[in-house]
Chain A
Amino acid sequence: MPYEYLDDIATSDAAFRAWGDSLEELFGAAAEATMNVMVGDLETIAPTISRIIRVEADAIDMLLFELLQELIFYKDAERLLLRVSDLQINQEGDRFFLSAEARGEELDMEKHDLVVDVKAVTLHRYRVEQTPQGWEAMVILDI
């Protein structure tokens, strides 16, 4: 798992660090980390429903913010638990674009080990940055 939860940050919320060799890998890892706060075992989510996600932003960190917000949105609006695949990130001028396919299914209390709702992505200590190894992000989710 290219992410780890951080114990001692923002007492009532959930903080994680995610990483990847490429931006796409990092975004995929951060999406999994976000979903894993809500669902104990992501493998229980069957890929039966698909949604295409397209978001854009004027900075790379806000592009990740938009992606994670989409996952939170679908959880409430359509009660969908989604896992992201086929991520593509492009830059045109000073804007960043992301497209991805997200597959999953409607949440089911019996089937999915539901833990706690993520309300939002916060910007407290939020960062996405390039490292000698690739890319890394630090995110605090509001619980």
Chain B
Amino acid sequence: MASLSNFIRISDTVWEISTSYKEGMRVPARIYATEKLLEEMDDGVIDQVTNVATLPGILKYAYCMPDGHWGYGFPIGGVAAMDPKSGVISPGGIGFDVNCGMRLVLTNLTFDEVQPHLKGLVDKLFQRVPAGVGSTGFIKISQSEFRRVVELGARWCIENGYGWREDLERTEENGCIAGADASKVSNKAVERGFKQIGTLGSGNHYLEIQVARPEHIYNAELARAFGITLPNQVALMFHCGSRGFGHQVATDYLQLFLKVMEKKYGIRILDRELACAPFHSKEGQDYFAAMKCAVNMSFANRQVILHRVREVFSDFFHKDPAELGLHQVYDVAHNTAKLERHEVDGEIREVLVHRKGATRAFGPGNPELPEMYRKTGQPVILGGSMETGSYLLAGVEGGAQTFFSTAHGSGRSMSRRQAKKKFQGKKLQEDMEQRGIYVRTVSYSGLAEEAGPAYKNIDDVVAATERAGISKPVVRFIPIGNVKG
């Protein structure tokens, strides 16, 4: 557990560790958390966020968001902006599951309309959206076509009939990050991923049916602007990433960077998982282009899952998906490095922002946002545990202090092993059903690992981001059905 004596209190939600804490720190580290969340954070976070502070070219601070916990390389919840001229890019600052992220979709159905069909709907979703170890999807394409998918992202899906054009502008980077180059990706990565489009994977990945109760609307105006207009409106939220393809891209470049980092570029690091290369080096640029392919694979993956969700609802209610109001609110990426324009020392300049288990949260007026969200600020989707609930937030102007980054979920507080010892999957499923949450899973022990108490309290996490002024709550969603990966 973190000891407060290591920190300088900047405010009641911002805690700083000075550069004197560890040799080689180029900037201080800042953890965003309430005192309670900070005290509950494991020591691994402090060690890792201060390691990040030693990376060449890091600007302002090495950050950790309120849902932060011990990861590998960066902590989960880690954010670091690098100077593209003098700084590095690090796969350990992005994660193996590149662009693991969240998508939120609305319906115009209410809880009362969905509840009688809930089991049937969840069963059907469970059948149509494959989950679990090594799962494969329904899209059968060649490896060369898959190379097109990873360059085009969700745009490939729309061209092939798996979605609506409007979905693209409601996705970060319009569902296709520019500069993805499939020639920078190994055959191994393609072989691992080309059959996996439209699959959830496992671990903390899921697809959930949720309800926005009237008492959980915290900002009525923004809720309306984001499409939440009915009492007890039903929504769907899902969390997944770039599957084996992204994992292999990260692994390939981690190995390459280890070979060149010190020998060729003279960079020394404190944890091999922070292996990196100068952003402007050949290796750095190759990784950036390959990583973008993984970003696009993930957008395509979530786009195809959305297509399946629309099919299932349409079949079930015998209505066109558009009649059921199955509009996407937004799709956010958690694990990325992106070139963005931010203010540094009073000057707007391009910086490379690494976010690992953190969400971009642009405030109102940001030109990167689609017209429909230019005034509201970016929708930010925070996935909570399957028992407790999730949030829709909005980006705010104050986000400039963290390079417009905020939390990404609840954040684990208990290890997977501990959770498995404490909870029993089958019993948990039964208990949840009694509480009105119907869960289907491919793995009961996997389910036990995801029990609600294994996570921090999401209300505390959201409150910390609001009090720190980096995002604000709009709606809280309560789970009623869950397909667990």
Residues on A lying within 8 angstroms of B by beta carbon are 5-14, 38-40, 62, 65, 69, 72-73, 75-77, 79, 107, 109, 113-117, 119-126, 140, 142-143
Contact = CB atoms under 8 A, between A and B. Distances in A.
Contacts of A107: 133-134
B364 interface: no
A107 B412 CA distance: 29
B427 interface: no
B71 A12 contact: yes
Interface string B188-203: 1001110010000111
A143 B202 CA distance: 8
Contacts of A121: 251
A7 B418 contact: yes
A124 B133 contact: no
Contact of B70 (A10, A109, A123): A10
Nearest to A121: B251
A21 to B, nearest CB: 27
Interface stretch (B56-64, B318-326, B442-450): B442-450
B133 A123 contact: no
Contacts of A76: 134, 191-193, 196, 243-244, 247
Given A65-B255, A69-B251, A77-B191, 14 more contacts: A10-B71, A11-B70, A13-B416, A76-B193, A107-B134, A115-B202, A119-B96, A121-B251, A122-B72, A122-B273, A123-B258, A123-B272, A126-B272, A143-B416
A77 B193 CA distance: 7
Interface residues of B, number: 50
B251 to A, nearest CB: 5
Q: Which of A38, A113, A123 has the most CB of B within 10 A?
A: A123
B44 A10 contact: yes
A143 B193 CA distance: 16
- Per DSSP, chain A at the interface is loop
A77 B244 contact: yes
B328 interface: no
Contacts of A13: 71-72, 416
Interface string B203-227: 1100000000000000000000000
B71 A120 contact: no
Interface string B404-424: 000000001111111000000
B132 interface: yes
A117 B188 CA distance: 18
B248 to A, nearest CB: 7
B130 to A, nearest CB: 10
Contacts of A122: 72-73, 96, 273
Q: Which of B136, B255, B275, B415 has the most CB of A within 10 A?
A: B415
Nearest to A142: B96
Q: Which 9 A-B residue pairs are closest in the complex by CB-CB distance?
A: A124-B72, A76-B244, A123-B272, A122-B72, A124-B273, A120-B96, A76-B192, A117-B202, A114-B133
Nearest to B417: A7
B69 interface: yes
20 contacts: A11-B70, A14-B417, A38-B133, A39-B133, A73-B188, A73-B191, A76-B134, A76-B193, A79-B134, A107-B133, A115-B133, A117-B133, A117-B203, A119-B96, A119-B97, A121-B251, A123-B72, A123-B258, A124-B73, A142-B95
B423 to A, nearest CB: 14
A10 B72 contact: yes
B273 A123 contact: yes
B5 to A, nearest CB: 22
A140 B203 contact: no
Contacts of B244: 73, 76-77, 119
B96 A114 contact: no
A5 B449 CA distance: 14
A109 B255 CA distance: 32
B42 interface: yes
A116 B443 contact: yes
Contacts of B275: 123
B80 interface: no
A115 B449 CA distance: 10
